[in-house]
Amino acid sequence: MIVIDASALTAFILREEKWSELSSYMYRAVSVDNVVKEVSNAIWKAFYIRKYLSAEDAFSALEVLKMLVDKNLILYQSFNYLAKAFDISIEHGITLYDSVYIALALSEGAQLLTLDEKQANVAKSLGIRVLP
């Protein structure tokens, strides 16, 4: 099982650097429910703040996200991992948003797919195999 975080899913959806390397993980991944909001916000930010997506491209990216969630991702309720995530966040100094993916990976004995270096280092320190 592979837990995908928002950094990896955003990179894939927005075709950021190394996005094609991530494609092989998209059909068998799980995540927490807040990944939808995090990635949607990244799409909005790419359009509204960074201005490198047109409105049409932003809506297309959102449709790709919806399709992936509907067909390829299994979402777990982040609330169920909140206590463990909070412990990780406090102990390692990373955000709760990042910690919840680690908590899910720990709970399920899964690997973590992330492009966030700090999150990856914490996950590795907790014995989680980090991809890519």
* Tens-place pLDDT, residues 19-77: 888 988 988 899 999 999 999 999 999 999 988 899 999 999 999 999 999 999 999 99
Maximum Cα–Cα distance across the chain: 42
What is 1-16 written as a DSSP string?
-EEE-HHHHHHHHTT-
* d(C-alpha 40, C-alpha 112), whole Å: 20
Considering its fold, how many domains does the chain have in total?
1
CATH number at residue 50: 3.40.50.1010
- pLDDT over threshold 90, residue 17: no
Reported as a pLDDT band with limits 50, 70 and 90, residue 85 is very high
* d(C-alpha 90, C-alpha 88), whole Å: 6
Domain carrying residue 35:
2-131
**How does pLDDT run across 86-104, given as a tens digit for each residue?**
999 999 999 999 999 999 9
pLDDT of residue 7: 96
